[in-house]
Amino acid sequence: MFTLIGRRLVQLVPTLFLVSVLIFSLQHLLPGDPALVMAGEEATPEVVEQIRKRYNLDKPLPVQYVHWIGGVLQGDLGESMRLRLPVGQLILQKLPVTLQLAFMAMAIALLIGIPAGVISAVKRGTATDHAVNVFALAGISTPNFWLGIMLILLFAVKLGWLPASGYVSPFVDVQRSLATTILPAIVLGTAIAGVIMRHMRSAMLQALDSDYVRTARAKGLHERTVVWKHAVRNAITPVITLGALEFGTLLSGAVLTEQIFSIPGFGKLIVDAVFNRDYAVVQGVVLITAATYILMNLLADLGYILANPRLRT
Amino acid sequence: MSAATEPATVSGAGSHDHLVDSPRRRVWRRLKARPAALVALCVVVVIVLAALLAPLLAPYDPTQQSWTAVRQAPSWQHWFGTDEVGRDVFSRVLYGARASLAAGVVSIVIAVIFGVPLGLLAGYVGGWVDAALSRLTDAMLAIPFLILAIALAAFLGPNLTNAMIAIGISATPIFIRLTRGQVLTVKAEDYVEAARAVGNPGWRIALRHILPNVLPPLLVQVTLTIAAAVIAEASLSFLGLGQQPPMPSWGSMLNSAQRFLSNAPWMAIYPGMAIFLTVLSFNVLGDGLRDALDPRAK
Amino acid sequence: MRHLTLAAAIATAMLTAATGGAAAQSTLRVGLAEDPDILDPTLGRTYVGRIVFASICDKLFDIDADLNIVPQLALEHETSEDGKTLTIRLRPDVKFHDGEPMDAEAVKYSLDRHREMDGSFRRAELTAVESVEVVDDLTVQLNLSAPFAPLIASLTDRSGMMVSPKAAEELGDQFGNQPVCAGPYRFVERVQQDHITVERFEEYWDAENVHIDRIVYRPIEDSSVRLANLQSGDLDLIERALATDISAIRESGNLELAIVTELGYQGMTLNVGNGAAAENPLGQDARVRQALNLSLDREAINQVVFNGEFFPGNQWVSPQNQWYQESHPIPERDVERARELLEEAGVQTPVVVDFMVPNNPETRQVAEVIQAMASEAGFDMQIRVVEFATGLSEAEAGRFQAFMLAWSGRPDPDGNIYSFASTGGPLNYGRYSTETADAALNEARTATTFEDRKAAYAKFADEWLTEGSVLYLYHRAMLIAHTDRLEGYEQRPDGLVRVVGVTLE
């Protein structure tokens, strides 16, 4: 068990290395010269040249990479060209915001998704099943930014119940913090709830038909015990994996939602950086989200193993 | 669509049910028993037909502007109203189906063609192949989907085909990972152990015993990923990396509509509904197929 | 990971705790269309950044409602006979936010910083300045290499912003994260992409006219969400509202709208000499460019895309501007004439044009209308939407035949034309280059009277507006919407938000 965890931790190294190479090369393959973007309306040749020099853009790519990764290994993620701030500082500013939103969204998704999936599988083929299904599918099938704008128009403009956008930290005012994050969390959560519900249902159907459930039933166990203790325990495995994967994407995937609600999180940071070709920021944020994501995967795999004893070898 | 029909021909093989009729017919019989799936199938067929027959069905040229009829509300002349330069929204929704469907289907085909075999390989062969593939998959999955798609599409050049390729490549790792995960689970099942004990060759076990069992969760993933792909196409169009004007896609229509939500909501409602309906239908259909294909289902 | 999260959470808590609990004060909440870049007058380069500077950094000069140059930190100025020295008398008893005196030494320091600092974006505006001399405590003298008429106008913008030498020395190129200037408001804090807070500076030279205690700037990119925030009362003022939302703002009852014509323009840059893409009829034959020009109905573009709220234009300044050349009015659409011109030029129709369009919904819509208009005259404008960063590189490299380009505008006409039309101009993406145009543009720079300068521009316009590489289309209306609780708000033509003299109920 411990050797397994150790092995997985060791695997982190090549994966992160691959991520760093992938994101670095992808980014530099993009058309567009960051020095020109930086200079904008003031792009005289001297200014552009100076920017290139300052950020080592005049050096060959491998040199730039070594320069960057060397800094990263010493804990220096580089400097934002646009804001002239250390990338590490920017990330520290955004991380709590994004984590809060991700946890809220995931909580909403799990609270809706798992019971809905179980009920739908148990009541397979009934009207309840169909209704739950349609609800889940509606969540998946609605484009995020559309739902977001609709919610703003309804709850902020028409009803005036919630602020239209912005963000307040829970350390300042818990109530206002919830008020500013509940709509985006709903937008993100309902989409994932659908995914989770469908996987839960799918897995439950397999579990309910499996030999061990049949055995449990044959033993005369109460149906509720069979469903919740035996079937759910086995069915939840793929859902754990999925939940972890979705959580990883929440860290940086809330791009349009963060944009619409003006939530200053990772998604907004990274998209602005991509548009401005702010290399260090894109690289730094992707590296950090990737590391988090990989850790989530590790946890998911451990879940797999714990729930599926036969793999414990 | 090919991803959805292919498994029907092989699925029965892995089952130990009594084969009273051919697998294909049995799937169809089961599917027929699900009205929701049938309705969804009809909707999908209608949408596909609408896309194919758009030139015959559309009352107007989807690119014909009319500057005296800008942002007009739906009427008998323009069922879905007109857009910001006076084009007929109904005609544009019909033509837009082409871009969105193509984006959904082509990118999935790409992802499945690359993802499933690699996942089978990684899961079944194991060893260093698995290690190498898993690291690459982990790395790709760790990079946010949209960022990966943006980078690839920007690199390939801005047009619809490249956007589809970019979405397909970005969606591939999730198929590798899911297939591999399922293979690992199935590999431990008794009947696979039994097949191995009897001395079946590896490829035969992979194809006849493992693949069919891997298919149902994959199919669920396919339907979900079509949704993601249609929405990814919208995002890429927004970034100027998808469909180029003046031809419409639902994504680009939604994006131009964004500015007029309060004074011309129909510009957003109809393409939004088209996306919603398409994605919903694919999902319901996939769901029905999943039940119908399940070798153990009664 | 855990530790990192915890540390971050604590950091945010402390950061935000420091700013909370100021309820009794009046706070103006401003919605910006973008997140500003660095708040250093020497390094700043965005329009939206100038809106924030307007409250924290006073300038030597300012512009009034009619675009006249008026003193701000300066009291008066004098240009020598030969036009090569500019003497500026400064306002006495002015303090920077850190209490340092805003005197001649500080002005010299600031101007030298603009001129010499590594990575300065102000250098081009100040190239004519050879040296800055301190004459006495409150007098500086700028020595120029040649007369340069646009100089004073530059001093109404970031080049004229004075920074505290002490703070600038201490902070170096990090100054923008803690700017210390001499404006009516002091910088308090900034959370990137979330908000910028400034508070009233008690020792401001005109403090009795500053009535609002705090201003919070919040970037909200989506214009409908920005408006929704204003409507729901979460913001008090928004900049750059959409023309298509004007009726909604007027009907809302408790909102007011300020409209001015922008100083900049929206136009189409044509590639006449930048690489292989220029080797085609559009790039080589002025008649083909004229045909394209005549195929456009500028008023129709305005009506269709902007509800008729913007201002059609055909020059680098708007028709209301004093520098507008009346002898070149906005051309009427004439498709017949356009077709004739194409025939005279002997080109095969349709003329295929690679039409690069930055990815902005309004610009894209304009491009689609242009595409439809031009097709009637025999052009096939193939739209290629590119994101902003890609567009700049493509333009620089000459990989376009037509390119939709917006310019935010400068108070002096030189700032709207020189870099775009002179040989080697950094924004001359079409690489237009003639000796006659260069001569006329330089004459407009060195001439000292309004009449002489305008006459020089008249010569230039005769050439540029018939053969040049930019087709001007329209000037945006700068739309500032605000709550009616805001009293005394006055909009200047640069679109910036000035709060001196304004009260909030």
CATH, domain C265-475, list 3.40.50.2300, 3.10.105.10, 3.30.2310.20, 3.20.20.140: 3.10.105.10
Q: Please report the pLDDT score of residue C2 as a whole number.
A: 39
Q: Parallel, antiparallel, or unpaired: how do β-strands C379-386 and C351-358 relate?
A: parallel
Higher-pLDDT residue of C416, C11:
C416
Q: Please report the pLDDT score of residue B88 as a whole number.
A: 94
Q: Please report the pLDDT score of residue A207 as a whole number.
A: 80
The answer to whether the CB of A81 falls within 8 A of the CB of A280 is yes
Mean pLDDT in residue range A220-228 = 78
State the Cα–Cα distance between residues C317 and C417, nearest whole angstrom. 9
CA distances from B17 to B11, B14, B187, B294, C369 (A): 11, 9, 20, 11, 63
**Which residues in chain C have Cβ-Cβ distances shorter than 8 Å to A172?**
13, 16-17, 20
**Which residues in chain C have Cβ-Cβ distances shorter than 8 Å to B158?**
384-386
Mean pLDDT in residue range C381-390 = 85
The per-residue pLDDT of chain C, averaged, comes to 90
Please provide the distance, in angstroms rounded to a whole number, between the alpha carbons at the two ends of chain B: 25
Mean pLDDT in residue range A191-219 = 81
Distance from CA of C253 to the nearest CA of A (A): 14
Closest CA to B215 of B174, B177, B184, B179: B179
**Which residues in chain C have Cβ-Cβ distances shorter than 8 Å to A40?**
45-46
C100-113 burial: b if 16+ Cβ within 10 Å, else e: bbbbbebbbbbbeb
**Which residues in chain A have Cβ-Cβ distances shorter than 8 Å to C176?**
84
State the Cα–Cα distance between residues C203 and B166, nearest whole angstrom. 58
Q: Is A47 on the interface with C (CB under 8 A)?
A: yes
State the Cα–Cα distance between residues B263 and C480, nearest whole angstrom. 19
Cis peptide before B246 (omega within 30 of 0): yes
Q: Please report the pLDDT score of residue B15 as a whole number.
A: 40
Q: Please report the pLDDT score of residue B135 as a whole number.
A: 87
Tokens representing A210?
Answer: 């499996």
Helices (H) and strands (E) in chain C, counts: 16, 21
Of C361, C369, C385, the CB nearest to B244: C385
Closest CA to A288 of A8, A20, A5: A20
Q: Is C286 on the interface with B (CB under 8 A)?
A: no
Q: Residue ranges of the alpha helices (H) in A30-143?
A: 34-39, 45-54, 61-73, 87-122, 127-141
Q: Please report the pLDDT score of residue B286 as a whole number.
A: 73
Distance from CA of B188 to the nearest CA of C (A): 35
Mean pLDDT in residue range C281-304 = 94
CATH architecture under which domain C21-37+183-261+478-504 falls: 3-Layer(aba) Sandwich (3.40)
Residue C165 has pLDDT above 90, yes or no: yes
Are B246 and C304 in contact (CB < 8 Å)? no
What is the domain extent for residue B117? Answer: 81-293
Q: Please report the pLDDT score of residue C22 as a whole number.
A: 40
Are B141 and A143 in contact (CB < 8 Å)? no
pLDDT confidence of B80, banded at 50, 70, 90?
very high
Please indicate, yes or no, if residue B186 is contained in any of the structural domains: yes
Residues β-bridged to residue C90: C74
Residue B99 has pLDDT above 60, yes or no: yes
Residue C483 has pLDDT above 90, yes or no: yes
Residue C15 has pLDDT above 90, yes or no: no
Mean pLDDT in residue range A33-42 = 77
The answer to whether the CB of B94 falls within 8 A of the CB of B270 is no
Residue B17 has pLDDT above 60, yes or no: no
Higher-pLDDT residue of A212, C16:
A212
pTM recorded for the entire structure: 0.81
Q: Please report the pLDDT score of residue B296 as a whole number.
A: 53
Mean pLDDT in residue range A284-292 = 84
Distance from CA of A42 to the nearest CA of B (A): 25
Closest CA to A199 of A275, A54, A300, A74: A300
Q: Is C116 on the interface with A (CB under 8 A)?
A: no
Cis peptide before C350 (omega within 30 of 0): yes
| Residues of chain C numbered 233-252 and touching chain B (CB < 8 Å) | 242, 244-245, 247-248
Residue A308 has pLDDT above 70, yes or no: no
Are B245 and C245 in contact (CB < 8 Å)? no
Domains of chain C: which residue ranges?
21-37+183-261+478-504, 58-170, 265-475
**Which residues in chain A have Cβ-Cβ distances shorter than 8 Å to C122?**
42
Q: Residue ranges of the alpha helices (H) in C117-263?
A: 151-154, 165-171, 223-231, 246-251
User: How many Cβ contacts (< 8 angstroms) between chains B and C?
Assistant: 69
CB proximity list for B98: less than 8 A, separation 6 or greater:
B51, B54
Please indicate, yes or no, if residue B110 is contained in any of the structural domains: yes
Are B244 and C361 in contact (CB < 8 Å)? no
The burial class, CB within 10 Å (0-12 / 13-18 / 19+), for C360 is: middle
| Residues of chain A numbered 209-268 and touching chain B (CB < 8 Å) | 209, 238, 241, 245, 248-249, 251-253, 255-256
The answer to whether the CB of B99 falls within 8 A of the CB of B233 is yes
Q: Please report the pLDDT score of residue C24 as a whole number.
A: 58
Residue C1 has pLDDT above 60, yes or no: no
C126-140 burial: b if 16+ Cβ within 10 Å, else e: bebbeebebeeebbb
pLDDT, tens digit (0-9, with 9 covering 90-100), for C449-465? 899 999 999 999 999 99
Q: Please report the pLDDT score of residue A307 as a whole number.
A: 62
Mean pLDDT in residue range A245-272 = 76
Residue B91 has pLDDT above 80, yes or no: yes
Q: Which chain A residue is nearest to residue C359, measuring alpha carbons?
A: A275
**Which residues in chain A have Cβ-Cβ distances shorter than 8 Å to C32?**
none
Residue B7 has pLDDT above 50, yes or no: no
- DSSP assignment of B63-107 equals T---TTSTTPPP-SSSTT-B-TTS-BHHHHHHHHHHHHHHHHHHH
- Give the best residue of B47, B231, B270 to mutate against chain A (max A CB count within 10 A): B231
User: Phi, psi (5° rounding) for residue C258?
Assistant: -110, 130
Of A19, A202, A308, the CB nearest to B139: A19
Tell me, what DSSP letter sits at residue C192? T
Closest CA to B208 of B188, B222, B191: B191
Distance from CA of C25 to the nearest CA of A (A): 18
The answer to whether the CB of A267 falls within 8 A of the CB of A259 is yes
Mean pLDDT in residue range A33-44 = 76
The per-residue pLDDT of chain A, averaged, comes to 80
Residue C7 has pLDDT above 70, yes or no: no
Residue C169 has pLDDT above 70, yes or no: yes
Fold of A93-277: MetI-like fold (1.10.3720)
Percent of chain C with pLDDT over 70: 95
Please indicate, yes or no, if residue B42 is contained in any of the structural domains: no
Residue C239 has pLDDT above 90, yes or no: yes
- The interaxial angle of helices B211-238 and B2-10, nearest 10 deg, is 180
Fill in the amino acid letter for C138.
Answer: L
Please indicate, yes or no, if residue B66 is contained in any of the structural domains: no
Q: Please report the pLDDT score of residue C72 as a whole number.
A: 95
Residue C308 has pLDDT above 70, yes or no: yes
Fill in the amino acid letter for B7.
Answer: P
Q: Which of B29-33, C44-48, C467-471 has the highest mean pLDDT?
A: C467-471
CATH number of B185's domain: 1.10.3720.10
Tokens representing C437?
Answer: 């145009």
Please indicate, yes or no, if residue B179 is contained in any of the structural domains: yes
Are C222 and A259 in contact (CB < 8 Å)? yes
State the Cα–Cα distance between residues B165 and B170, nearest whole angstrom. 8
Higher-pLDDT residue of A25, B20:
A25
pLDDT, tens digit (0-9, with 9 covering 90-100), for B114-136? 998 998 888 888 889 888 888 88
Mean pLDDT in residue range C483-490 = 92
* Total domains, chain B: 1
Side-chain-side CA neighbours of residue C195 (13 Å): 20
Q: Please report the pLDDT score of residue C417 as a whole number.
A: 95
Mean pLDDT in residue range C387-400 = 86
User: How many Cβ contacts (< 8 angstroms) between chains A and C?
Assistant: 162
Q: Please report the pLDDT score of residue A81 as a whole number.
A: 83
Residues of B at the C interface, defined by Cβ within 8 angstroms? 63, 65, 67, 70, 84-86, 154, 158, 238-241, 244-246, 255-256, 258-263
Are A198 and B150 in contact (CB < 8 Å)? no
**Which residues in chain C have Cβ-Cβ distances shorter than 8 Å to A54?**
118-119
Q: Parallel, antiparallel, or unpaired: how do β-strands C351-358 and C402-407 relate?
A: parallel
Percent of chain A with pLDDT over 90: 4
Percent of chain C with pLDDT over 90: 70
The answer to whether the CB of C104 falls within 8 A of the CB of C88 is no
Domains of chain A: which residue ranges?
93-277
Are B158 and C304 in contact (CB < 8 Å)? no
Higher-pLDDT residue of A278, C222:
A278
Residue C37 has pLDDT above 60, yes or no: yes
Q: Please report the pLDDT score of residue A140 as a whole number.
A: 73
Q: Which chain C residue is nearest to residue B150, measuring alpha carbons?
A: C387
- Which chains share 3+ C-beta pairs under 8 angstroms with C? A, B
pLDDT confidence of C476, banded at 50, 70, 90?
very high
Q: Is A18 on the interface with B (CB under 8 A)?
A: yes
CB proximity list for C149: less than 8 A, separation 6 or greater:
C83, C412, C414, C444, C445, C446, C447, C448, C453
Residue C250 has pLDDT above 60, yes or no: yes
pLDDT confidence of B255, banded at 50, 70, 90?
confident
Of C119, C192, C232, the CB nearest to A51: C119
CATH architecture under which domain C58-170 falls: Alpha-Beta Complex (3.90)
Q: Please report the pLDDT score of residue C55 as a whole number.
A: 95
Mean pLDDT in residue range B264-275 = 84
Are A137 and B145 in contact (CB < 8 Å)? no
Number of neighbours of residue B56 by Cβ within 10 angstroms: 7
